[in-house]
Amino acid sequence: MIRRGCGVSAVWAGAVLAVLVATSPAMAQTPAPSTPAKSPATAKRLEFDVGGMFLTPVGMGTQDMSITAANGQPVPFAKTSSRTGPSFGLEARMGFPITPRFAVEVAGSWSSVDFETEVSGDTEIPTGLTVSLGVSRLTAGGSATWRLRQKARNEIYAIGGASWLRDISELSASGVYDDGAIVDGGAGMKMLFKDAAQGKIKRVGLRFEGRVGVRIGGLTLDDKNTHISTAFLASLLIGS
């Protein structure tokens, strides 16, 4: 459902964020183990990531513009094929370690998504054309990561999470938007240049990640409420 104006909030997403924010400081303040950690990572507290995001195209089906003939059969006078094009965006995250392997993160992102419809076979317009609409997609959510493997300063991890999203269309001076959610999962790698036990900034590195997600709701050009999407991220990692 496309909405207009402000005032609609995703209660569940807010609740998730509130829980994460409320619980994480306490966890972060948990006394260190009596025995020294084997890795500085176990002593890390907060981790920040800021980076770029690439979203792969998502098909949104075909639909004929048609009327009905006297025999009840559709008479198409144009065909349409729709998708979202390849998109880029930014994402920021803050992670909180729960155990040496397990961490939770809160994240927010913005991406610019082009909704595209290719029109062909119009009986009055012989040349095909592509009609598009720019959409700003905002997300806010949380995720959990599980470190699968650590070798030297490289970590491989699995990630799963959920986000609330808002698609805000171009040509919407009055604020046309549609809300939805993304549930996703994937894997990534952290390449640390610095992984120290002391200092304000203990960890610095790069993070690469791939996720496959199910988008529920948001703007769409077909009759499906869910769409599978893939995202790739590369970000700068800084840990305190």
Partner 1 sequence: MTSRRMSRWVIALLLISMPCAVAAYLKIGVQVGNAVITLKWKTLPVRYLVTNRAVAGVTAQQFQTATDAAFGSWNAVPTAQISSSFVGFTAIDPTTDSGQTVLGFESHPEDENVLGSTFWEFDTSGNPRAAHIYLNTIFQWSVASPGEPGKFDVQSIMTHEIGHLWGLSHSAIGETNQVSGGRSVVGKGAVMFPIAFPPTNGTPATTNNTIDRTLKPDDIAGISDIYATPAFLQQFGQVQGKVTLNGAGIFGAHVTAFNQRTGAIIGNFSLSNDGSFVIGGLDPGLYLVRAEPLDDADIDSFFDTPNNVNINFKATYYAKLVAVPAGGASAAIEIKVVAK
**DSSP type of residue 40:** G
Which of 170, 161, 177, 155 lies closest to 231 in space, CA to CA? 161
SS3 42: helix
Distance CA 229, CA 224 (A): 13
Which of 147, 149, 144 lies closest to 160 in space, CA to CA? 144
Q: Quick one: which of 16, 53, 221, 231 contacts partner 1 (CB under 8 A)?
A: 221
The residues, ordered by sequence, that sit 6+ positions from 80 with a Cβ below 8 Å of its Cβ are: 62, 63, 64, 65, 117, 118, 119, 120
220 binds partner 1 (CB under 8 A): yes
| Residue number with CB closer to partner 1 (44 or 137) | 137
Q: Fill in the per-residue mask, 77 to 116: x = in contact with partner 1 (CB under 8 A), - = not in contact.
A: x--x-x--------------------------------x-
Q: Quick one: which of 30, 34, 35, 68 contacts partner 1 (CB under 8 A)?
A: 68
Distance CA 80, CA 62 (A): 5
SS3 14: helix
Site residues (CB under 8 A) for partner 1, limited to 160-189: 169-174, 176, 178
CB of 83 to partner 1, least distance (A): 11
Q: Given the rule CB under 8 A, which of 2-10, 102-110, 195-203, 205-213 is the region that contacts partner 1?
A: 2-10
Q: Given the rule CB under 8 A, which of 27-35, 41-49, 57-65, 90-98 is the region that contacts partner 1?
A: 57-65
- Residues in contact with partner 1 by the rule CB under 8 A: 1-4, 60-61, 63-72, 74-75, 77, 80, 82, 115, 117, 119, 122-125, 129, 131-133, 169-174, 176, 178, 219-223
